[in-house]
Chain A
């Protein structure tokens, strides 16, 4: 028998603490949609996505109603398009992005990820085509997200691709300059990209994944913060225990929803991604949660230690709750999407260099950070290179989603709207790293990659 206390605790998590299922993401394999012409391949892609994901939104809403649990997003991830498009003979892959966009709209989802390439060790011709198509593809579509894996612990860092992505990010910004460079908000580069990640912009269905799969991303920084409010002043062992318990409960909701969605759709359940994903709403912030540890403002000394502990305790609680935990799993620190991060960046307490340190101990990387539009492409590549090194050499996922906003500089702010939020333009160290970036080549895999 469930006690009244437990029932009320649950209902308050949803009504007052912003607990939600952030996304149900259906992964769809598109390898069988290759064809010798662009038109035929795009038609196959559209038809297959609509066939598999046609009921995704409806099922999400049914589950949401049954448990009175908000399910914010229903999304789709697909096989990296650089693989699917390789046989089509064309060099411009924009039509593939348009086909994905059309299918996403037909299915009623709000993002589709997989305009992607995996180039951690080198480029195929198709990878090159895809990467060159990114700025145009993101400018002419609404819901398509793009990601490129540039590095892995096994292979090292593809520095040619790091150099090229600096240029591509600049182009994507310029191509969508009229919309505050929104193209860059839909583009992420990775080290050690997870192949089952349900979160955007980095979701794609990796080559080792099944035909179709349901992955669920949960959220709930507000729940953890609320739990911590009840242990004010207690030692950090108590804090860790409290976070674990909250993470356990949140993850169980995700597991329940994932299993039910999988059953209703007749599609296997893949993983739960137990990430604390903030939104710009007050009370749904990872920064405020870190401040609850006892920090005056996010970004001050102690922030990295608090984040490390938070990230670890979330995973420990979550893995007890579900046997299939995957994706990114940890705490997200996107600046523009987090009310507390925005405030800390605005006051100057949270700097780019501190964020970089924080990415060593959390699940993603430099995420949704707006920088001056006149930042050099090589400087952007330098930022990416550092972040790739953190991931590659520490055996973890890291990512960069950075937005050089044309015409804006430090002191300006940029508004993306909705869950993408708003961001103050953050200052960037402008001393040149061009000669380093322009060397190109590969940074060899670290010694600890040799585990066999």
Chain B
């Protein structure tokens, strides 16, 4: 497991005004820094991937997942946050 406390946030759903604003606002309130952001339309769905620096936030001991879930419901998109270690484990030898 890497020592970096970073996470991947994926947002998938129907495009509309305010998705990026909504997610970045929430992250700013939580003190989570966005390091990289990319977005595309895939299979007619808005797809955004963010790499964020969690700093001291521990995903499983905070309510960040719940807050993102709730925001996702309001925006009509699906938002998930996953620690970066998962992707490194799966895709890098």
Contact = CB atoms under 8 A, between A and B. Distances in A.
B89 A65 contact: no
A249 B91 contact: yes
Contacts of B33: none
A68 interface: yes
A330 B30 CA distance: 44
Contacts of A249: 90-91
30 contacts: A2-B91, A2-B92, A4-B40, A4-B49, A6-B90, A6-B91, A7-B8, A7-B10, A7-B87, A8-B10, A8-B42, A10-B86, A10-B87, A11-B10, A62-B60, A63-B60, A65-B65, A67-B85, A67-B86, A68-B81, A68-B82, A69-B86, A249-B90, A252-B89, A252-B90, A253-B86, A253-B89, A256-B85, A256-B89, A259-B1
Interface residues of B, number: 27
Given A10-B82, A66-B60, A249-B91, 6 more contacts: A7-B87, A10-B86, A11-B12, A69-B82, A256-B1, A256-B89
A367 interface: no
A2 B8 contact: yes
Contacts of B91: 2, 6, 10, 249
Nearest to B7: A66
B49 A8 contact: yes
Q: Is the interface of A mostly helix, strand, loop or mixed?
A: helix
Nearest to A263: B1
Nearest to B40: A4
B39 to A, nearest CB: 9
Contact of B90 (A4, A62, A253, A260): A253
Contacts of A66: 59-60, 82-83
A255 interface: yes
Contacts of A11: 10, 12, 80, 82
B88 interface: yes
A7 B89 contact: no
Contacts of B80: 11, 15, 68
Interface of A: 2, 4, 6-8, 10-11, 15, 61-63, 65-69, 249, 252-253, 255-256, 259-260
Contacts of A259: 1
Contacts, number: 66
A2 B83 CA distance: 12
B84 interface: yes
Contacts of B82: 10-11, 66-69
A62 B40 CA distance: 31
Nearest to B36: A1
B89 A255 contact: yes
The 3 closest A-B pairs by CB, nearest first: A62-B60, A65-B60, A256-B89
A2 B88 contact: yes
A107 B48 CA distance: 40
B53 to A, nearest CB: 14
B38 interface: yes
B50 to A, nearest CB: 10
Contacts of B40: 4
A223 B58 CA distance: 29
A2 B78 CA distance: 21
Contacts of A63: 60
Nearest to B80: A68
A7 B78 CA distance: 15
A10 B87 CA distance: 7
Nearest to B8: A7
Interface string B50-66: 00000000011100010
B86 A65 contact: no
